[in-house]
């Protein structure tokens, strides 16, 4: 909770800084519209009562870019008058707030006091805001600030969904994505509707990835922006294409297309008579998808090529940047500036940072670098939200699994509420270097008996029981101190009666067979001449149809193996002996197990790998 509060406070401060930078230097209300007393006659546009005042120029003046008041009042020129998300929301908010509030606000800014003069100078001279437009302007820019804050949070959330990164890193991604908004709108910041469009797109994209019903609500808001809604339709097709044989896929696609076309047509008809709109007929929007699809695909291709080139240059080195967070952010920031400068071929810059996060996975997979990221099907699967009694998933009451190290730490805090001192420190630190969330995701959902081999202080077995993946856990270790610590930590928890901890010599194992055998970071502590026999003992502890999940450290790359040796020399005060995934998989296959999966999982200086194997359904 404390971590979330700090992130929320930092996001509020940063979003305010971005907002004031954007409004001050863009000067949107002054930069694009001359004052009424200098405007030529026949402009047909403007935001004040003096709009269209007579000037000296013989030619009618038509502004090349709109300001916010024009957009809200529907007097902006085409095509800007059609960007209706922010204008409609601003107008609704200004009407929702009582008129007495706006009168009081205007009066509070009048007076000779220095602070009032400073505020009036900033609003009137720097921003060119006029008192009669305060309700619209304050409403609109308040929504812009909220959209900046929401966009940063949604970027943080999408990062944690797609990639296996710590919560702090995801928060940093969200913050830098907010800063990237300045890059994308630096050249074209006269368009004040773009930031709300970016927020709505990020909200809808997250809902689409998580398969939430409120995706339709977010899309209904996004459809007020042509580019945003088109990209969401493309995202739906790309993310759900494997379901193309199902009628539901085409029904949803038809619903999105009809909703888009109907809304855009309604906007066209409503604002077809805008004074500044020229050469614009109401039915023009009906072919908008065909006209813009080529440009959209061009923009996505540029993103794909740029990220693919970046991945080719970096490859696997340096491995410490395996998650590629910093290169990704730099690429997205550069693309934001790039697309902002080329305008008509910008590919709709307001959504590029978020689409880049998604495209990055596909780019890496096409280059054979998918191992740098979490498997694609894992973050895109339907997640089950927690309820008081658990959630029904596949016929079994199963709590949701943690998806990141931060969520594992939060789960361990609930499982070990009374842990303190060194045990608590180890409990909170280990998930950042050991991929427990990957281990838990591979345990079958049906609760059964689980054997935790070399359990240490019992974290692996406790997580399995806490996640509803084990009805009974038998855990053992050769360390008496570790077992005593585990018993003391779990004694007063609700799971205490489901976990058994035993201190046994290395050649003695608990009796019986188990549905799941868990072996986390134990193999390297076994002498080399006994590791093959150790794997055989794992096999004999499995029931027919049982599952073995073994996590170990690979001997390559060499520098990571050396780092692991140093780590174990400090923590365990012993030498360790690594085996390659291929060797271990061959040993397990020789014991009659079916090796279903062998997956590398990299985290900091640790080159982990996970092996999942199953025993035959009937005893051999």
Domain shared by 488 and 530, yes or no: yes
CA 608/CA 548 separation, integer angstroms: 16
The answer on pLDDT for 374 being more than 70 is no
Q: Which of 184, 227, 179, 183 is nearest to 14 (CA)?
A: 179
Contact 299, 228 (CB under 8 A): no
- Domain co-membership, 259 together with 330: yes
How far apart are alpha carbons 305 and 303 in whole angstroms? 6
The residue-averaged pLDDT of 318-324 equals 41
How many other CB atoms are found less than 10 A from the CB of residue 413?
13
Residues 440 and 553 in one domain: yes
Q: Of 372, 402, 419, which closes a domain?
A: 372
Please write the tens of the pLDDT for every residue from 438-470.
899 888 877 789 999 988 888 888 888 888 888
- pLDDT at residue 209 is higher than 90: no
Flag whether 117 is in a domain: no
In-domain check, residue 377: no
Is there a domain that residue 333 lies in?
yes
Cα separation of 474 and 483, whole Å? 12
Same domain, residue pair 76 and 210: yes
Q: What is the mean pLDDT of the chain?
A: 70
Residue for token pair 């800063």: 179
| 3-state secondary structure at position 97 | coil
Statement: residue 325 has pLDDT above 90: no
Stretch (H or E) spanning 171:
helix 167-185
Helix, strand, coil tally for the chain in percent (to 5): 60, 10, 30
- Identify the domain boundary among 311, 344, 372: 372
CATH number of the domain bearing residue 460? 3.40.50.150
Residue 108 in any domain: the answer is no
367 and 395 inside one domain: no
State the angle between helix axes of 194-209 and 215-222 in degrees (0 to 180), rounded to the nearest 10.
Answer: 160
The answer to the question of residue 23 being in a domain is yes
What was the pLDDT predicted at 512? Answer: 87
Please check whether residues 317 and 461 belong to one and the same domain: no
Decide which of 343, 372, 401 is a domain's last residue.
372
Q: Mean pLDDT across the stretch 469-475?
A: 88
Number of domains in the chain: 2
Does residue 278 carry a pLDDT above 90? no
Query: What DSSP string runs through 440-458?
Result: HTTS-SS--EEEEET-TTT
Reported as a single tens digit per residue, the pLDDT across 504-548 is 888 888 888 899 999 998 888 888 889 999 999 999 999 998 999
Query: What's the angle, vertex CA 436, arms to CA 431 and CA 439, rounded to 5?
Result: 170
Angle at 564 between CA 563 and CA 568, to 5 degrees: 120
Same domain, 396 and 270: no
Task: Answer whether 465's CB lies under 8 Å from 436's CB.
Answer: no
Chain centroid, CA 115 distance in Å: 41
Q: For residue 516, what pLDDT is reported?
A: 93
Looking at the structure, do residues 151 and 267 belong to the same domain, yes or no?
A: yes
d(CA 48, CA 60): 18
Query: CB–CB of 467/445 below 8 Å?
Result: no
Q: Which helix (H) or strand (E) holds 488?
A: helix 480-490
**15, 78: one domain:** yes
Q: Is residue 608 part of a domain?
A: yes
Query: CA angle at residue 598 from 539 to 449, to 5 degrees?
Result: 40
Are residues 458 and 354 part of one domain?
Answer: no
Residue 172's φ and ψ, nearest 5 degrees, are: -65, -40
* Distance separating alpha carbons of residues 67 and 546, to the nearest angstrom: 66
Assess contact for 447 and 469: CB atoms under 8 A.
yes
Name the 3-class secondary structure at 608. Answer: strand
CA distance 165 to 158: 11
What's the rounded Cα separation, in Å, for the pair 216 and 236? 11
Per-residue pLDDT averaged across 192-220, rounded? Answer: 81
The residue that leads in pLDDT, 395 or 219, is 219
For 334, the enclosing helix (H) or strand (E) is: helix 325-341
Q: What is the pLDDT of residues 305-318, one digit of tens each?
A: 444 444 444 443 33
Same domain, 7 and 73: yes
The burial class, CB within 10 Å (0-12 / 13-18 / 19+), for 391 is: middle
Residue 453 resides in a domain: yes
- Look up tokens 């500044």; give the residue: 276
Domain membership of residue 124 (yes or no) is no
The answer on pLDDT for 352 being more than 70 is no
Which of 173-177, 202-206, 579-583 tops mean pLDDT? 579-583
Q: Which two tokens stand for residue 177?
A: 């994505």
Provide the domain limits for residue 221: 2-96+130-372
User: What b/e readout covers 428-450, taking b as 16+ CB neighbours within 10 angstroms?
Assistant: bebbbebbbbbbbbbbbeebbbb
Task: Note whether 419 and 538 are same-domain residues.
Answer: yes
Pinpoint the alpha helices (H) of 367-454: 405-415, 421-429, 436-440
For residue 350, what pLDDT band results from cuts at 50, 70 and 90? Answer: low
pLDDT-derived band at 584 (thresholds 50, 70, 90) equals very high
Specify the pLDDT at position 620.
Answer: 42
Which helix H or strand E contains 277, and what residues bound it?
A: none
């Amino acid at each position: 909770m404390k971590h979330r509060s700090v992130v929320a406070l930092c996001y509020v401060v940063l979003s305010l800084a971005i907002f004031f930078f954007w409004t001050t230097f863009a000067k949107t209300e002054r930069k694009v519209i001359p004052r009424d007393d200098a405007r030529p006659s026949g402009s047909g546009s403007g935001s004040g009562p003096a709009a269209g005042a007579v000037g000296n120029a013989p030619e009618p003046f038509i502004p090349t870019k709109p300001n916010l008041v024009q957009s809200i009042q529907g007097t902006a020129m085409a095509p800007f008058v059609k960007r209706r998300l922010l204008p409609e929301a601003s107008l609704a908010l200004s009407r929702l707030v009582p008129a007495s509030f706006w009168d009081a606000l205007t009066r509070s800014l009048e007076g000779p006091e220095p602070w009032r003069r400073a505020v009036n100078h900033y609003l009137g001279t720097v921003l060119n805001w006029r008192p009669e437009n305060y309700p619209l302007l304050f409403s609109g820019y308040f929504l812009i600030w909220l959209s900046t804050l929401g966009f940063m949070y949604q970027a943080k959330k999408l990062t944690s969904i797609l990639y296996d990164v710590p919560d702090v890193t995801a928060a940093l991604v969200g913050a830098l994505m907010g800063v990237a908004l300045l890059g994308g709108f630096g050249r074209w910041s006269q368009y004040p509707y773009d930031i709300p469009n970016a927020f709505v797109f990020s909200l809808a994209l997250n809902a689409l990835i998580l398969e939430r019903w409120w995706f339709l609500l977010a899309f209904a808001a996004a459809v007020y922006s042509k580019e945003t809604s088109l990209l969401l339709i493309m995202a739906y097709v790309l993310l759900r294409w494997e379901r193309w044989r199902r009628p539901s896929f085409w029904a949803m696609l038809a619903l999105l297309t009809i909703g888009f076309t109907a809304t855009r047509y309604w906007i066209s008809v409503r604002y077809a008579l805008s004074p500044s709109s020229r050469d614009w007929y109401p039915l023009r929007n009906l072919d908008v998808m065909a006209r813009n699809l080529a440009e959209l695909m061009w923009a996505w291709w540029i993103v794909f090529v740029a990220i693919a080139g970046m991945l080719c240059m970096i490859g696997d080195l340096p491995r410490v940047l395996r998650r590629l967070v910093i290169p990704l952010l730099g690429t997205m920031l550069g693309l934001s500036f790039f697309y902002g400068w080329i305008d008509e071929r910008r590919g709709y810059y307001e959504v590029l940072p978020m689409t880049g996060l998604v495209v990055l996975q596909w780019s890496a997979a096409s280059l054979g670098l998918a191992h740098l990221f979490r498997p694609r099907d894992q973050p895109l699967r339907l997640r089950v939200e927690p309820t008081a009694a658990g959630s029904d998933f596949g016929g079994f009451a199963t709590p949701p699994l943690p998806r990141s190290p931060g969520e594992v730490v939060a789960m361990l805090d609930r499982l070990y509420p009374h842990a303190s001192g060194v045990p608590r420190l180890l409990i909170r630190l280990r998930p950042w270097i050991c991929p427990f969330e990957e281990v838990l995701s591979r345990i079958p959902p049906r609760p059964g008996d689980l054997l935790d081999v070399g359990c240490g202080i019992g974290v692996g077995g406790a997580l399995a029981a806490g996640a509803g993946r084990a009805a009974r856990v038998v855990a053992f270790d050769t360390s008496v101190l570790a077992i005593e610590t585990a018993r003391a930590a779990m004694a007063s928890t609700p799971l205490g009666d489901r976990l058994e901890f035993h201190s046994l010599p290395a050649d003695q194992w608990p009796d019986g067979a188990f549905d799941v055998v868990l072996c986390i970071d134990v193999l390297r502590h076994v002498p080399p001449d006994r590791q093959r026999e150790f794997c055989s003992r794992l096999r004999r502890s499995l029931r027919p149809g049982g599952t073995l999940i073994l996590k170990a450290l690979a001997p390559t790359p060499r520098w990571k193996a050396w780092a692991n040796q140093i780590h174990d020399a400090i923590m365990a005060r012993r030498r360790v002996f690594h085996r390659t995934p291929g060797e271990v998989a061959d040993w397990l296959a020789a014991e009659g197990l079916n090796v279903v999966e062998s997956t590398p999982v990299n985290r900091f200086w640790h080159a982990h790998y996970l092996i999942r194997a199953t025993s035959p359904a009937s005893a051999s």
